[in-house]
Structure 1
Amino acid sequence: MGVGAGFWHVLPVAGIVVFACGIIALFVRSSGYRQLELDHATAAAQVIEPSKLPE
């Protein structure tokens, strides 16, 4: 927030751009984290129990 405020004092449009980029980055990061969590849950569900292993 401090970086955005600094840019805002230099040029208001620059401050708005910095805040907008921060919000977009937050969405990108959270969607990537969500995808990793889904991949982890899928991999955990596919673990074969030792009693079901072929002999």
Structure 2
Amino acid sequence: KVIAEGVETEEQRRLLLEFGCEFAQGYFFSPPIEPRRAEALIAETFERRRRDPANAS
């Protein structure tokens, strides 16, 4: 598996998907965040998945 880094545009994301790369990170998805915000975001994501696994995204 490959994680593409530095994705900044929809075009880059689309091309990566065409090449079979399913995982990416970069400003297109989110600017850098502070560590405490990252912790909260992860906790919120896990809580959503726990409450409704069918719609966790």
Higher relative contact order (CA 8 A, sep 6+): 2
TM range (shorter): 0.3 to 0.5
Q: TM-score, normalised on structure 2? A: 0.36
Specify the structure having the higher radius of gyration (Cα). 1
**Greater share of helix residues, 1 or 2?**
1
**Greater share of strand residues, 1 or 2?**
2
